Every structure is written in structure tokens, then in C-alpha cells.
């Protein structure tokens, strides 16, 4: 196809001849820039479909080259470790030691092997150590992954996922699961593959997950990484359910801040709320919550005060008098004056006088929600099968029971599953009013966005009609809200029905791609979890969200 088109284009024969002549080093020095320039013009002349195919083949070639890098890295580390010179040096007191780069069953190699590779290959020592680890795992533990990776059918990102998720597993467990993981990697993006692998490993080895979780908890940490443009990233490594609760609280604070300042993106509001809380300030007003000299207001029955409806979008906007009163502070000279530290630069102190702002004495919003899927036996303590924290992944039985039993407002809903593969079929419709809980049913049936390769949790997606609703409003409703305005029964004057079987979660970007970008979707009538997407260029991609595909 596109190879023939390249040959037919002017100059292609000369380029081919230049590439075939002389050693690679001489060619690289003298003709490679010319070759790249001519090849670039040839690629620009190809059609869209040929460019897609060319990119796919180039990706396969790059994958094989990455496989060679991993193989070379592990081979160098092994030879360097057991060379006579290095063996003699390790016999000295305080000498360089051996360390385990790969998983169980891989040999230990010199701790400085990554240092030599990093300098020779112009990469970081972290990247060099990662290549050594992947290479050792491929050589000794991941034979099927090694086969597909070397053949260009898997990328380095796929191989890295399989290597990392299996590194803490015993050699026996890896031998049992690796072929299944390698096969799954052929049809999944790296992000979806990681979700699938976590579920598979947790289900296959629940006792091992419990032990690994205990060891990982001992390694919890916090780091700050500098970024470009005077920014930085804050990374907290802690238990999954703890961070899920924190994230849900910050989501609630971010939504309330966003109501007061819609012009600022939601993610920015969420980050500002987190910064305020860590600095001991109220997440909206920025007022210090640790100032013992200033008495806190009496707590109300609810930690959230309802918004007052006004002619300004339903939210009271502080007046200049409100701002002056707030910034002036107390008129009592005996009370120390403490400035309001704003971490967001948008004047969040101005929101303190708004009736729509949360009670300043409260650290947390009124209500947050986490969804955990587990068996009844696990909930009752009969077994220790792993559970699923929606949007996050598998957790241990102890973590799931703790979330269920320690909550003051736990709601139990019965879920029917396929006994063959444990995929969720439907919720018990007799437990609640179906129409008001359609969004919840969709989020339970489809934990993640159904777009190929997407990993956005359903609760953060839009609720989309697979078959568009002809006369209905545009599909922009968040999954967390029920489509109460749409009928639940079939109607002759509408296209797709507003029923759970015609609904799917999509991120806003992929929702727009389906609605306005020419993407189409069909569902396997035998399996509601299997969805086939077709791009505007006719390329098809299948995804199965029941298994994290």
C-alpha cells in the first residue's frame, strides 16, 4: 500500500539506493539529513489512511528497537556484574554491591550498572535501571511478553506495565498469569492493560495482595517535584481508600468553589482547596483554621449552608462593603490581626461573606460518596476475596469492610453478576426507584469510560445515549445526575431510548468526538460490555469494560 506509493513518488529510488549503500555510521554522517528531508516530503504526500498505516508500522519497528535496548541493557548488566574485574572489586571492603532490579527469579546485578548505561545512552539513571529491570524480567519471567515485544506487537509501554505489575509476584504466580497478560496486552492500551492486570492479579492471588498491601503501606511517602514555569507537583503515596476519600472531599470543595467562580477551571479550584487545607486554612475563604485566638463560629446542624437564590446565577456575590469588612478584620484591638493567605491568586477571601460558602468551622463538605463492589461473603467476613473501589481499582477485603463498616451512612445495593466471569449484569431494580437511579446503574455496569483506551472513572464522565435521542437535549449530563427530564419508556418519535441499556459513560472529550467528530459506536447484542467504535476513517476498535479492556 503506502510502500508502493513511496516508490512511485519522485526521488524514492534515489533515497532507497542511498540507504542501501555503505555502513550505517558513514550513512548517518553524510546522507541521513538528506534522507530525512526527502522522506519527510514523501510522507506529506501520502493520503490520510496511508499515513495512519505508516505510523502503525513505524510504531512496530520502534517497539522492536526498544526490545533490543532492553535486551542490551540486561545483557550488559549481567556481563558487567560477573566480569573478572568487577568480581575482584566486590571482594574489597565497602565495595559496590549487587541489587535486584527484576522480580523473583532474576539474578542480582551490580548497583552501578545503571550508572554506566545512563552515561552511554544519554538517559537518566532511573530510565537505565528501568530498562535493565524490564530486560531481566523478559529474559527470566515474561517469555510470552518477550515474544510479542520482540515481534513488534507490543510497545515498550506495554512491556513496562506487565513487568511492573508482576514484579512483586512470586515466580509461580507469574508463570500462571503471564500468558494471559501478554495476550490481553495485544488488544489494550497500556493504561487499560494496567487496570486489567491489577484486577486479574487481585482476583487470582487475594492473600498475596493482602501481604503486598501491608509491605507497600510501610513504604508510604510524600514528595514534591519541581515543574516548569515556577510550578511543582505534590505526590502523596498512601493507602488507596484513604486517598480516594481525600479526593472525594476535594472534589466536593472544588465544586463549591467553582459555583462561586465559574471562570476558573474546576481542577484549579480543587488544587487551591487542597493547598488551603494543607496550610491550615479554610478551603474556600482562606481563613486560618488553626488560629486559637480567634473563636470559631458555632457549628450549624449541616456543615454546608444552602446557596441563596439571587438574580446573579443563584449565588450571592460579595459587595465592595463585604470585601472591605472582611479585609479590615475585627474591630476589637485585643484580637490579633492575621492576614488571609490566598494560594490561588483569585481573591478567594472575597467569598467569606457569601451565604453560599461552607461553614468556616468545618474542614469537610457535608457529604461525599465512594462506591465499593464486593461479594456478600466478603462483607460478612466469610471470605477475603478482593473488592473493587470504583474508579480506583482492586482493594483488599479488610479495606473494603473498613470503608463499609466505618461509614455513618453506608447504603447497600444488590448487584447481579455473571457467574462465568464476575462481570456485572444489572442492579436489583426493586431496591430503589429506577428512573431516579439510572446514572448509578450505568456507573455500576460500566466503571470506566467506554471509549477505547480511556480510563476516566464513570463518575467523572458524561452520560451518553449510544443511539442518539432525536428530539432530546444534547447529551452533556454528568453521570452523577439522573436524566429525569427524559422518559424511561420507548417512544416512537425519539431515536435512542433513555434506558440503561442505551447509556454509556464518556469523558467530555470523547463525548464530543462521538457527537461532533464522526465517531460511531455499536454494542455486541450478546454482551453489553463489549463495544465496537469506528473512527471517521473506518478503523474499528473494540473495548470490553467489564475486564478493564
Tell me what pLDDT residue 240 has.
Answer: 87
Between CA 463 and CA 440 the distance in angstroms is 10
Between CA 425 and CA 528 the distance in angstroms is 8
Give 68's pLDDT tier (boundaries 50, 70, 90).
very high
Give 364's pLDDT tier (boundaries 50, 70, 90).
low
Lowest mean pLDDT among 112-121, 218-227, 423-432: 423-432
* Helix ranges (DSSP H) in 82-170: 84-90, 113-121, 125-140, 143-150, 156-166
Cα-based distances in Å from 433 to 204, 440, 504 = 36, 11, 20
Examine the pLDDT at 486 and tell me if it is beyond 70.
no
Tell me what pLDDT residue 423 has.
Answer: 63
* Contact (CB, 8 A) for 269 and 258: yes
Average confidence (pLDDT) over 507-533: 84
Percent of the chain with pLDDT over 70: 66
Examine the pLDDT at 176 and tell me if it is beyond 60.
yes
Tell me what pLDDT residue 237 has.
Answer: 94
Between CA 466 and CA 140 the distance in angstroms is 45
Q: Which residue, 128, 122, 121, 178, is CA-closest to 148?
A: 178
Examine the pLDDT at 358 and tell me if it is beyond 90.
no
Average confidence (pLDDT) over 180-209: 91
Question: Other CB atoms closer than 10 Å to residue 285's CB: what's the count?
Answer: 22
Average confidence (pLDDT) over 477-498: 46
Number of Cα atoms under 13 Å in the Cβ half of residue 432 = 15
Residue bearing the bigger pLDDT, 50 or 298: 50
Examine the pLDDT at 51 and tell me if it is beyond 90.
no
Between CA 549 and CA 533 the distance in angstroms is 13
* Contact (CB, 8 A) for 307 and 314: yes
Highest mean pLDDT, choosing among 52-56, 81-85, 499-503: 52-56
Between CA 263 and CA 265 the distance in angstroms is 6
* Helix ranges (DSSP H) in 426-507: 438-445
Residue bearing the bigger pLDDT, 527 or 154: 154
Cell digits of residue 333: 484591638
Examine the pLDDT at 191 and tell me if it is beyond 70.
yes
Average confidence (pLDDT) over 47-51: 86
Residue bearing the bigger pLDDT, 312 or 233: 233
CA angle 207, 208, 211 (to 5 degrees): 90
Tell me what pLDDT residue 67 has.
Answer: 97
Between CA 270 and CA 447 the distance in angstroms is 23
Lowest mean pLDDT among 101-105, 171-175, 442-446: 442-446
Tell me what pLDDT residue 532 has.
Answer: 87
Lowest mean pLDDT among 45-59, 449-463, 522-536: 522-536
**Any bridge partners for residue 531, and if so which?**
523, 543
Cell digits of residue 546: 467489564
Highest mean pLDDT, choosing among 86-95, 479-488, 521-530: 521-530
Over residues 258-285, the pLDDT tens digits come to 999 999 999 999 999 999 999 988 888 8
536's enclosing H/E stretch is none
Examine the pLDDT at 321 and tell me if it is beyond 70.
no
Tell me what pLDDT residue 368 has.
Answer: 60
Examine the pLDDT at 493 and tell me if it is beyond 50.
no
Between CA 358 and CA 354 the distance in angstroms is 9
Number of Cα atoms under 13 Å in the Cβ half of residue 116 = 15
Give 408's pLDDT tier (boundaries 50, 70, 90).
low
Residue bearing the bigger pLDDT, 169 or 94: 169
Between CA 207 and CA 195 the distance in angstroms is 19
Q: What is the pTM of this model?
A: 0.67
Cell digits of residue 301: 446542624
CA angle 439, 445, 450 (to 5 degrees): 90
Average confidence (pLDDT) over 228-245: 91
The domain spans of the chain are: 1-45, 47-186, 239-293+309-319+340-367, 372-425, 443-547
State the chain's mean pLDDT as an integer. 75
Three-class SS of 316-327: CCCCHHHHHHHH
Cell digits of residue 87: 568480581
Q: Are strands 462-465 and 477-478 parallel, antiparallel or unpaired?
A: antiparallel
Tell me what pLDDT residue 146 has.
Answer: 96
Residue bearing the bigger pLDDT, 15 or 354: 354
Cell digits of residue 349: 477571601
Examine the pLDDT at 322 and tell me if it is beyond 60.
no
Amino acid at each position: 500500500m503506502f510502500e508502493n506509493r513511496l516508490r512511485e513518488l519522485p526521488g524514492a529510488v534515489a533515497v532507497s539506493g542511498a540507504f542501501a549503500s555503505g555502513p550505517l555510521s558513514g550513512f548517518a554522517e553524510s546522507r541521513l539529513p538528506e534522507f530525512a528531508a526527502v522522506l519527510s516530503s514523501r510522507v506529506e504526500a501520502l493520503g490520510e489512511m496511508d499515513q495512519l498505516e505508516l505510523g502503525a508500522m513505524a510504531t512496530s519497528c520502534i517497539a522492536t528497537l526498544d526490545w533490543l535496548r532492553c535486551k542490551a541493557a540486561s545483557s550488559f548488566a549481567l556481563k558487567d556484574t560477573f566480569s573478572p574485574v568487577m568480581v575482584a572489586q566486590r571482594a574489597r571492603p565497602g565495595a559496590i554491591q549487587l541489587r535486584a532490579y527484576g522480580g523473583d527469579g532474576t539474578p542480582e546485578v551490580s548497583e552501578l550498572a545503571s550508572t554506566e548505561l545512563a552515561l552511554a545512552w544519554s538517559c537518566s539513571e532511573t530510565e537505565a535501571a528501568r530498562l535493565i529491570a524490564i530486560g531481566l524480567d523478559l529474559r527470566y519471567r515474561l517469555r510470552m511478553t518477550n515474544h510479542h515485544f520482540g515481534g513488534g506487537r507490543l510497545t515498550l509501554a506495554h512491556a513496562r506495565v506487565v513487568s511492573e505489575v508482576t514484579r512483586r509476584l512470586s515466580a509461580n504466580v507469574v508463570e500462571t498469569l503471564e500468558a494471559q497478560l501478554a495476550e490481553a496486552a495485544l488488544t489494550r492500551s497500556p493504561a487499560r492493560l494496567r487496570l486489567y492486570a491489577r484486577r486479574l492479579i487481585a482476583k487470582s492471588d487475594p492473600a498475596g495482595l493482602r501481604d503486598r498491601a501491608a509491605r507497600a503501606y510501610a513504604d508510604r511517602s510524600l514528595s514534591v517535584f519541581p515543574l516548569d514555569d515556577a510550578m511543582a507537583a505534590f505526590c502523596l503515596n498512601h493507602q488507596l481508600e484513604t486517598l480516594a476519600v481525600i479526593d472525594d472531599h476535594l472534589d466536593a470543595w472544588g465544586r463549591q468553589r467553582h459555583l462561586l467562580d465559574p471562570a476558573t477551571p474546576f481542577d484549579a479550584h480543587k488544587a487551591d482547596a487542597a493547598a488551603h487545607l494543607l496550610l491550615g486554612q479554610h478551603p474556600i475563604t482562606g481563613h486560618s483554621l488553626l488560629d486559637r485566638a480567634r473563636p470559631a463560629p458555632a457549628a450549624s446542624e449541616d456543615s454546608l449552608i444552602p446557596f441563596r437564590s439571587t438574580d446573579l446565577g443563584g449565588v450571592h456575590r460579595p459587595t465592595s462593603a463585604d470585601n472591605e469588612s472582611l479585609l479590615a478584620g475585627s474591630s476589637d484591638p485585643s484580637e490579633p490581626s492575621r492576614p488571609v493567605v490566598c494560594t490561588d491568586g483569585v481573591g478567594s477571601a472575597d467569598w467569606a461573606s457569601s451565604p453560599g460558602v461552607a461553614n468556616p468551622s468545618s474542614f469537610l463538605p457535608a457529604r461525599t460518596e465512594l462506591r465499593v463492589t464486593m461479594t456478600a461473603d466478603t462483607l460478612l467476613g466469610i471470605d477475603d476475596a478482593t473488592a473493587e473501589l470504583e474508579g480506583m481499582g482492586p482493594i483488599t477485603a479488610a479495606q473494603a469492610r473498613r470503608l463499609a463498616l466505618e461509614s455513618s451512612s453506608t447504603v447497600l445495593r444488590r448487584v447481579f453478576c455473571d457467574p462465568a466471569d464476575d462481570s456485572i449484569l444489572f442492579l436489583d431494580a426493586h431496591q430503589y426507584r429506577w428512573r431516579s437511579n439510572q446514572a448509578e446503574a450505568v456507573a455500576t455496569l460500566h466503571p470506566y469510560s467506554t471509549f477505547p483506551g480511556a480510563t476516566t472513572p464513570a463518575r467523572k464522565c458524561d452520560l451518553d445515549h449510544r443511539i442518539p435521542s432525536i428530539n432530546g437535549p444534547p447529551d452533556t449530563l454528568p453521570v452523577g445526575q439522573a436524566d429525569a427530564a427524559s422518559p424511561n419508556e420507548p417512544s416512537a418519535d425519539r431515536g435512542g431510548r433513555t434506558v440503561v441499556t442505551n447509556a454509556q459513560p464518556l469523558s467530555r472529550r470523547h463525548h464530543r468526538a462521538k457527537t461532533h467528530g464522526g465517531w460511531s459506536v455499536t454494542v455486541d447484542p450478546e454482551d453489553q460490555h463489549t463495544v465496537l467504535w469506528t473512527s471517521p476513517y473506518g478503523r474499528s476498535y473494540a473495548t470490553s469494560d467489564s475486564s478493564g479492556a
